[in-house]
A and B are shown apart, each in its own frame.
Chain A
Amino acid sequence: MTPVTSASEKLMRLAAAADRFDYSAAELRETQVAALDERFQERKDRIKLLGHRAREAGTAEIRRREDMVPLLFPHTVYKSYPESFLIEERWDRLGKWLGTVSPHPISPVETSDIADIDDWIERLAAKGHYVSCSSGTTGKSAMLLASDRDMDWSRTDTVNVFSWGSGVRPARDRRMMGLAPTASVPKNLVIGAAQQDAFGDPARERFRLPIPAITVGSLTKMIVLRKKIADGTALPGELADFERTSAERQEALDKAMIAGAEALVRYRDEKLYISGLWNALYQVARIVREMGYSAKDFHPDNCIYVGGGLKRAQLPADYQEFVHETFNIPATRDFQNYSMQELNSGMPKCQRGGRYHVPPWLVPFILDEEGTALLPHETGEVEGRAAFYDLSLDGRWGGIITGDKISLDFSPCACGCKGASVRNNIVRYADLQGDDKIGCAGTVDAYVRGLS
């Protein structure tokens, strides 16, 4: 006799199943709704904000997907802490804020002798609370809380996603070439280590960009300075120092790009696993070309892991082809993944259909632009604001309303998978706001120049 299994466990058990993207939305519907209700019942009294939402909406249980909509958190919720907590280094208050979005009580940490935010994050990590920050430069940065179980899940999921999407088997036979100037936050570190363990040849040293670690502290410094400029408390000397530091950092980064290109050329005969963001990868590829090397000089079985979008970098239209062609990445190894800091699971793009596939434990919702109502969707493709419930999330609420406009299809994909999939035309609503309304009412933000 098999033990009684919860609906969410049933779905999460498919994590490593080869056919995990082959379950149709209709097949999954009932189990997913049951799983949503399980998560809601477990956490409604544990996540303060969720309890508040449920009371406001009068929700006692999830019987249909619609019931979940008022309980999904906008992605901005993880930036909703009062900025003064961060700027005035009120760690106990930030801890209390984290407590309103955490299902696990935040263990008290000693805050009297904390030097900076990196210190605080480290002490929380020692208690099993992993805080990752998004690298928002102009506005607030999001603080996303995760648990040990989330870290474990990320470790496995990232390898499964890359392997499925790129067709590369985790055979530990590649030299890892890390070309991303990414923030040293727990989630990025876990993903990097997991990829290394799965695909990296232990005998060959991993290449890292020779730049100092980008810590949360270094990211938030900019936010603090911006606030000081707006307040009028930043003095010109401080601004000149900041500009100087930024210029030095940029110079170090430019040098690191050259070092990256040289390393790629040095290891060109080896089988490489190249990772980075489009902007850095494009820059390095250009340097490699200028050095006189291109596809013919690189191993024919190279692969590439690209994280994140363009982040508003201005690149030529053919930047992807340019990067692929430079490093001799086979056409069948074009790996793309749709995910975000707010989720714990990825949606890899298939090679044949060119669509991002949604795994069974990630429940997709297409909402109206305002994010308040579920669009009717039984079959076919529907476009609107993307929202997800990630059943795998343990350290925070799994329901998130994204800033993305996507097209979700319940029909089978050209690649043969029958599961829900997302068209490769994802845009951010923020980039779509094609409007030029101006008003006389505004904030001091309009008076802050530079720092972008």
Chain B
Amino acid sequence: MNAADTSFKPADAPVPGNAVSAPFFLCGELFQGQDAVHRSRDLGVTFATPRIDLDRVVHPRTRVPPLLNVPLAEIIDFLVETGQRLRDPGNPFVRECVDRMALTHVLPRAVLEEQTRSAAAYLDRRLLHAVVEQNFPDPKALDEWVPKQDFTGRKSFVRAFAPRLIHVLPGNSPGVAVKSIAQGAMVKAVNLFKMSSSDPFTTVAVLRTMADIDRDHAIVKSMSAVYWRGGDDAVERALYRPQYFDKIVAWGGGDAISNVTKYLGPGLQLVSFDPKTSISMVGREAVSCDEALDRAARLAAADVMVLNQEACVASRFIFVEADQRDADRFCERLHAHIVEVAAASGDARPLDMDLREQVEMLVMLDDEFRVWGKTDGKGLVIRSDEPVDFHPINKTANVVRVDSLDDAMRYVNVATQTVGFYPHQRMPDYRDRLASCGAQRIVRLGEAGPSTIGNPHDAMYPLHRFVHWMAHEDGVAPGGS
């Protein structure tokens, strides 16, 4: 292992061979090194990391978690101060992080800067309290052994005990890093963050900001962030064991999850945030007049363009209840609005070759499909009678024309996350069927991004699932049976 950098000053030596340095953070200490060079897919950039000292990322079970007896109120104070420092334009850790991320991320620098700033908005006192209150019927269980008594007179204490968590972080939204740190802290967990190759920086930057406040605080001592290549047996076979951790909190699907599931078993559970597709439903009210048409198209474009369509809440398929002529009018307006938002973001990555090919083929089959825009990454709309085969990404919307929104229900499945609806008055007619098909969230069109603070995510209250629910049975009250 490399010598710890105890200065907490951003003074990374340049790494030879153009690799960007990605230091690790272990329980308050920063580690730099160039023992391993990894590759980030999106921009084909390499980054260098130190070796992982595996012994240091696990917390012996014979020692209680450092945060266990730190009051929740104090943890929230600390998180709030972290938020203030993250928003400070002079924060050297954040600045350096964005510098590095811009090299490895698909999103442009301005979008990344804004994301880091808005990620810090999660660290708000009222918000954090609301999250805890929504997740736990009695948040006191985080701080103390809460006394209970059932109707037979049997007594006990229950504690939402501090767990040991591995967070397998996604790379498409820096906000998840901040959120995961806050949630891990509020449940008082011992946290190991496994960073993603497309963002091996943000988590460490946030943790360094926290260490700069008080490097000896229990919250800082409870956090480690490292990178290894997902699926690397040498690391995962050693770490993914119930003797070291209680839960693996994992984002993503496919290989990322199948790598993890083979390690699950008694004592080691998975809390998964599954890969999701979001969609929109636009009723025939939208094509009733030009004004409504433009409004619905503008709202739909806003949902398509969340994080330039990199996020899971970003809409990809828009079911429009109209005949072909009206659907085409909607498409035209939708395209114009997407192009406008796309141009303002300054992000014009052309579509991948594979996607480009499939779209161009639909241009050829013009008696069944119609395409607005080009494959240049500046905004694209495809109209069809059923959803296209590919995953619309990079500012691409597929408008699927239906006679009735009822017909769109069969395209809702277990991978459907958010459904944006227009007009919102029709939402109650559809929400039961949407839930039955597997969807998790129904919102007014144009409001895919925001959600009520503390609401369920991926059909669960995550914090409630993170903790180790512990019961202390305490006999029977006098007079009980």
Contacts and interface: CB of A to CB of B under 8 A. Distances in A.
Interface in B413-460: 413-415, 437-438
Contact of A140 (B389, B393, B438): B389
Residue in A231, A370, A372, A440 with the greatest tally of chain B CB atoms within 10 Å: A440
Contact of A437 (B171, B358, B364, B438): B171
Contact of B254 (A96, A441, A446): A446
B277 interface: yes
Nearest to A73: B357
A444 B415 contact: yes
Contact of B354 (A73, A76, A436): A76
B354 A442 contact: no
A443 B415 contact: yes
Interface string A426-447: 0000000111111111111111
Contacts of A372: 353
Given A74-B354, A84-B386, A93-B368, A440 B312 contact: yes
Contact of A230 (B173, B386, B413): B413
A83 interface: yes
Interface in A133-160: 140
Given A100-B361, A370-B353, A442 B252 contact: yes
Given A443-B277, A447-B414, A438 B361 contact: no
Contacts of B414: 232, 444, 447
A231 B391 CA distance: 15
Contacts of B357: 73-74, 76-77, 80
B415 A436 contact: no
Interface string B228-270: 0111000000000000000000011111110000000000000
A437 B274 CA distance: 14
Nearest to A78: B357
A444 B413 contact: yes
A123 interface: no
B365 A96 contact: yes
Interface string A45-57: 0001100110000
Interface in B156-171: 168, 170-171
A229 to B, nearest CB: 10
A442 B413 CA distance: 12
Contact of B253 (A81, A82, A434, A447): A447
The B interface is mostly helix, strand or loop, or mixed, namely loop
Contacts of A381: none
A389 to B, nearest CB: 18
B437 to A, nearest CB: 8
Interface residues of A, number: 41
Given A232-B414, A435-B39, A440 B361 contact: no
A446 B253 contact: yes
Nearest to B410: A231
B329 to A, nearest CB: 24
B388 interface: yes
Contacts of A83: 389
Given A49-B361, A140-B389, A436-B197, A441 B314 contact: yes
A96 B368 CA distance: 11
Given A97-B361, A442-B312, A446-B415, A437 B198 contact: yes
A438 B41 contact: no
Interface string A74-113: 1011001111100000000100110010000000000000
A95 to B, nearest CB: 12
Nearest to B369: A82
A76 B254 contact: no
Contacts of B66: none
A371 interface: yes
A440 B170 contact: yes
Contacts of B389: 82-84, 140
A22 to B, nearest CB: 35
Given A436-B197, A439-B170, A371 B353 contact: yes
Interface string B394-412: 0000000000000000100
Nearest to A434: B39
B256 A436 contact: yes
Contacts of A437: 40-42, 171-172, 196-198
Nearest to A369: B44
B255 to A, nearest CB: 8
Contacts of A77: 357, 361
A140 B230 CA distance: 27
B74 interface: no
Nearest to B387: A84
Contacts of A73: 357
Contacts of A440: 170, 172-173, 176, 251-252, 273, 275-276, 311-312
B364 A446 contact: no
B471 interface: no
Contacts of A100: 361, 364-365
B420 to A, nearest CB: 15
Interface in B261-310: 273-277, 310
Contacts of A442: 252-254, 274-277, 312, 391, 415
Contacts of A444: 277, 413-415
Contacts of B353: 74, 76, 370-372, 401
Residue in B230, B311, B353 with the greatest tally of chain A CB atoms within 10 Å: B353
A440 B199 CA distance: 14
A96 B229 CA distance: 45
A52 B365 contact: no
Residue in A74, A231, A433, A443 with the greatest tally of chain B CB atoms within 10 Å: A443
Interface of B: 39-42, 44, 168, 170-173, 176, 196-198, 229-231, 251-257, 273-277, 310-312, 314, 353-354, 357-358, 360-365, 368, 386, 388-389, 391, 393, 410, 413-415, 437-438
Given A439-B173, A447-B413, 7 more contacts: A82-B389, A435-B197, A438-B230, A440-B252, A446-B274, A447-B414, A447-B415
Please provide the 7 A-B residue pairs with the shortest distance between their CB atoms, ordered closest to farther.
A442-B275, A446-B253, A438-B252, A436-B230, A439-B172, A435-B41, A440-B312
